[in-house]
């Protein structure tokens, strides 16, 4: 069956299989190429006739992941200028009032797309939810601070996409007044920024922040140092006009070179303290404070404006940082002798390792390193954001603790995503060949319930009762303030 729906820009034809209808690669904004590459998003041009929407659309130009990470999750790279597009899965485009989930992908703000198999929205539509996944500008195109260009273009794309959802989702059976935005990693950080942004008010009712951090926002002057390095790499001025004359391959090469320089030489005097600290040693291009949609770090903005809080799920995996260090061989280089040096590189007082070692007497130095960095990059910033949000709206916190079958990775970054989407069949390179379907059933159902009525099924989190849902096998549980001694010690000893 090939259903047709009509949205603001024209008619689109999707495809129905097994009771789920997909509309893929639908542009929500004009192609950001040529003069538009570094400008605010604009409406997609209208088209005549019926536009086919049965194949994934283009993705923002990007480099593949390094080979060890690529082996786990693959890379993205579908050519096409109209990469500001959305995919929609619906149980019935003729229905009305269905809850809506809008997915924002991760990728450190320089990689990723809405076309991944583990983001397939079939299971959500099967269970009565309209699932929308969006693309946005990445890397230099989305986040470089350039003269003659607005800041945070990638976040502007996300807000523009949410407005598109508000104006068009009824055509797919969705309720524009019952939208939940959710994302993972850079997508989770984007969710935090969107909650804090005044321009997002009313565009979504609820939010889910997976493996994010509410403290991520660079100072614009610091971010200009990264842009200056990019321009120097290319032999041009750091202006939208000069960058706009270059092709994607040239931009990618410069972006990769500067990202490597930031990671290998994280000197605050060279890059600015906020780039080094908020980039967590992983990111060099990410949202910046602009006195507009990013008035400050999201947690601080939310604490000062509790009226911006929305019902929220926020959480992390238990072993986030192993994703970055085990496949790449970094973990193997961490020894008792080198541990103090690598912690200092991240601006962390090595004394904190004593607390983690006391709490984990059987753990070696590499395990201690990964536990500290998991908390520093993800868990601390998630708990802080949850506390700020809980002052204004119901908040639920989780930890995904089931470890993958792959050696050394544990419950690493990204691992919960195929469970949330109930898309395990396409994730065995990350999960191993026998992931527990019952756990996917549980966490996916919780997300469906939350999108439907705001109750994921476990007790809420607040500053007094810091309840956390631990998703694991053979059964999940709700605990109060897990590993609080470690988190407290980390906060006290960050240099």
Domains and CATH numbers, the chain: 311-493 (3.40.50.1820)
| pLDDT at 263 (0 to 100) | 84
d(CA 202, CA 308): 10
Catalytic one of 185, 200, 227, 274: 185
Distances (CA, A) of 63 to 30, 74, 253, 255, 276: 23, 12, 8, 9, 22
d(CA 319, CA 40): 37
457 dihedral zone (left: phi>0; alpha: psi -120 to 50; beta)? left
> Do 343 and 378 form a contact (C-beta atoms < 8 A)?
no
Burial class (CB within 10 angstroms; exposed 0-12, middle 13-18, buried 19+) of 482: middle
Looking at the DSSP assignment, which residues form a beta bridge with residue 207?
Answer: 181, 312
Catalytic one of 413, 442, 444, 486: 413
> Do 146 and 227 form a contact (C-beta atoms < 8 A)?
yes
d(CA 163, CA 419): 28
**Residue 146: closest CA among 63, 229, 82, 216:** 229
The pTM of the full predicted model, rounded to 2 decimals, is 0.97
| Residues whose CB falls within 8 Å of the CB of residue 21, separated by 6 or more in sequence, listed in order | 1, 3, 14, 15, 89, 90, 91, 92, 93, 125
Task: Walk along the chain (495 residues) and give the pLDDT tens digit of each residue.
Answer: 689 999 999 999 999 999 999 999 999 999 999 889 999 999 999 999 999 999 999 999 999 999 999 999 999 999 999 999 999 999 999 999 999 999 999 999 999 999 999 999 999 999 999 999 999 999 999 999 999 999 999 999 999 999 999 999 999 999 999 999 999 999 999 999 999 999 999 999 999 999 999 999 999 999 999 999 999 999 999 999 999 999 888 999 999 999 988 888 888 888 988 998 888 878 999 999 998 999 999 999 999 999 999 999 999 999 999 999 999 999 999 999 999 998 988 889 999 999 999 999 999 999 999 999 999 999 999 999 999 999 999 999 999 999 999 999 999 999 999 999 999 999 999 999 999 999 999 999 999 999 999 999 999 999 888 999 999 999 999 999 999 999 999 988 765
185 a catalytic residue: yes
């Amino acid at each position: 069956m090939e259903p047709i729906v009509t949205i603001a820009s024209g008619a689109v034809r999707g495809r129905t299989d097994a009771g789920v209808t997909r509309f893929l690669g639908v542009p929500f904004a004009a192609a950001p190429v040529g003069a538009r590459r570094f400008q605010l998003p604009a409406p997609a041009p209208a088209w005549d006739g019926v536009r086919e929407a049965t194949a994934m659309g283009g993705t923002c130009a990007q480099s593949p992941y390094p080979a060890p990470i690529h082996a786990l999750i693959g890379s993205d790279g579908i050519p096409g200028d109209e990469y500001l597009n959305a995919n929609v899965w619906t149980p019935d485009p003729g229905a009305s009032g269905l809850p809506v989930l809008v997915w924002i992908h991760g990728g450190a703000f320089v990689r990723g797309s809405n076309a991944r198999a583990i983001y397939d929205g079939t299971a959500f539509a099967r269970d009565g939810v309209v699932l929308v996944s969006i693309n946005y500008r990445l890397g230099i195109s989305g986040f470089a601070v350039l003269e003659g260009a607005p800041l945070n273009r990638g976040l502007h794309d996300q807000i523009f996409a949410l407005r598109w959802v508000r104006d068009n989702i009824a055509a797919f059976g969705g309720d524009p007044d019952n939208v939940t935005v959710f994302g993972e990693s850079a997508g989770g950080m984007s969710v935090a920024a969107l909650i804090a942004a005044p321009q997002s008010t009313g565009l979504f009712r609820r939010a889910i922040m997976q493996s994010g951090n509410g403290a991520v926002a660079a100072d614009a002057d610091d971010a200009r140092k990264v842009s200056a390095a990019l321009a120097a790499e290319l032999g041009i001025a750091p202006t939208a006009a000069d960058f706009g004359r270059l092709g994607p391959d040239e931009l990618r090469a410069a972006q990769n070179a500067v990202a490597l320089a930031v990671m290998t030489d994280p000197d605050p005097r060279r890059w600015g303290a906020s780039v080094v600290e908020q980039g967590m040693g992983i990111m060099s291009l990410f949202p910046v404070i602009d006195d507009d949609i990013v008035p400050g770090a999201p947690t601080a903005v939310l604490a000062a404006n509790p009226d911006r809080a929305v019902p929220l799920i926020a959480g992390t995996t238990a072993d986030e940082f192993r994703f970055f260090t085990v496949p790449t061989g970094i973990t193997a280089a961490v020894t008792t002798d080198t541990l103090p040096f690598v912690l200092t590189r991240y601006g962390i007082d090595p004394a904190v390792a004593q607390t983690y070692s006391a709490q984990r007497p059987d753990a070696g130095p590499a395990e201690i390193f990964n536990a500290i960095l998991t908390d520093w990059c993800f868990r601390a910033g998630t708990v802080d954001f949850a506390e700020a949000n809980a002052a204004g709206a119901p908040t639920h916190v989780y930890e995904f603790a089931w470890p993958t079958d792959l050696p050394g990775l544990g419950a690493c970054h990204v691992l919960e995503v195929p469970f949330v989407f109930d898309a395990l069949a396409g994730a065995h390179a990350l999960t191993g060949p026998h992931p527990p379907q019952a756990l996917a059933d549980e966490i996916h159902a919780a997300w469906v319930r939350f999108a439907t009525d705001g109750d994921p099924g476990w007790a809420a989190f607040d500053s007094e009762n810091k309840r956390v849902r631990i998703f694991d096998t053979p059964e999940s549980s709700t605990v109060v303030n897990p590993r609080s001694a470690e988190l407290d010690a980390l906060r006290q000893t960050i240099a």
